[in-house]
Amino acid sequence: MTDPNTITKAITKPGAMIKIVALTEAGHKLAVRLGNSIANSEVVFKPKPFKESVQHFFENGDRLIMICATGIVMRTLAPVLNNKHSDPAVLALDEQGKFVIPLLSGHEGGANNWGQTISELLDAQLVMTTAKPYLKPVYTLGMGCERNCPESFLQDVMQQCLSAANLTLDDIHSINSIDIKADEVALMEMGQNLNIPFDTFSKDLLAEMEDKLSTRSQYVFNTVGVYGVAESAALFAAQKLTGQDSELMVNKIKNTKATCAIARSFPA
């Protein structure tokens, strides 16, 4: 999705999720593989009636991964298409998982960025047909921790995140948290020691990222006013840097005293 200040955000309806639709046995195997790796997803094999089922998913706001021919997807969805600012993202994949094609809502709905994520997950070729070239992403760390958390706990969970994303500290633009952690000594010192900027944001700004969180903690909300510090901070910082939509690359990882997440965003 593009700059939320100039373009209406694609709608995320309550209860919407990711539907991975397959029509063949080979496609079903790929769908199950994806479903095991993608949060908030459901594999749907040979839905009946096919056209009505897929249209219902789309109108419900579900993002779609369609493992079938692009022609099938377009003929099925054509009657229910609205506009690129409100339609959910749709990807088309071949049943072998060799190609990932963002079909609908590429920029505004995030299908281009999402397609990049899926292609990396499958080691597949991303087939981009939109006008802008795909650019190098900006990566940001989000971190939360208990008060007076030792730096070793922060380092531990950060390294887990970097390993999960196959990134190094050289790839990270900044470390980010909520503003009540602006004076957290270990976070401040870690940023200084690593020569990475440490930034914090208010709960009101972080709350704007709520619909992108992988999980929502009522305990964290009752404590600091947002449903997740690490993910929210990473997402907001990445979006602020590029002026474009952000997405989670690594969902929250935690140990007994700290949490960490990685988000990314692509420059316009």
d(CA 231, CA 253): 10
The two three-digit tokens of residue 123, written as one number? 């080691």
Three-state DSSP class for residue 265: strand
Q: Give the pairing of strands 18-22 and 172-178.
A: unpaired
Sign of the Cα pseudo-torsion (76, 130, 263, 205, in order): negative
Residue 177 belongs to a domain with what CATH number? Answer: 3.30.420.180
pLDDT value at 13 more than 60: no
Residue 9: what pLDDT? 31
- Domain housing 199: 138-265
| Per-residue pLDDT reduced to its tens digit, 129-146 | 665 546 688 999 999 999
Q: Are residues 191 and 231 in the same domain?
A: yes
Is 165 a domain residue?
yes
Q: Are residues 209 and 108 in the same domain?
A: no
Q: Are residues 86 and 156 in the same domain?
A: no
Q: Are residues 144 and 244 in the same domain?
A: yes
Nearest to 122, CA basis, from 29, 45, 247: 29
Q: Are residues 70 and 158 in the same domain?
A: no
Is 22 a domain residue?
yes
Which of 126, 152, 168 lies at the terminal end of a domain, its last residue? Answer: 126
| Per-residue pLDDT reduced to its tens digit, 58-96 | 998 899 999 999 899 999 999 988 876 678 889 999 999
Nearest to 235, CA basis, from 109, 143, 134, 122: 143
Is 8 a domain residue?
no
Is 133 a domain residue?
no
Is 10 a domain residue?
no
Question: How would residue 10 be classed by pLDDT, with cut points 50, 70 and 90?
Answer: very low
| Per-residue pLDDT reduced to its tens digit, 159-193 | 999 998 889 999 999 999 999 999 999 999 999 99
Sign of the Cα pseudo-torsion (251, 200, 10, 267, in order): negative
Q: Of 12-21, 25-34, 181-190, 215-224, which range is least confident?
A: 12-21
Instruction: Tell the residue number behind the tokens 């900027």, with chain if given.
Output: 197
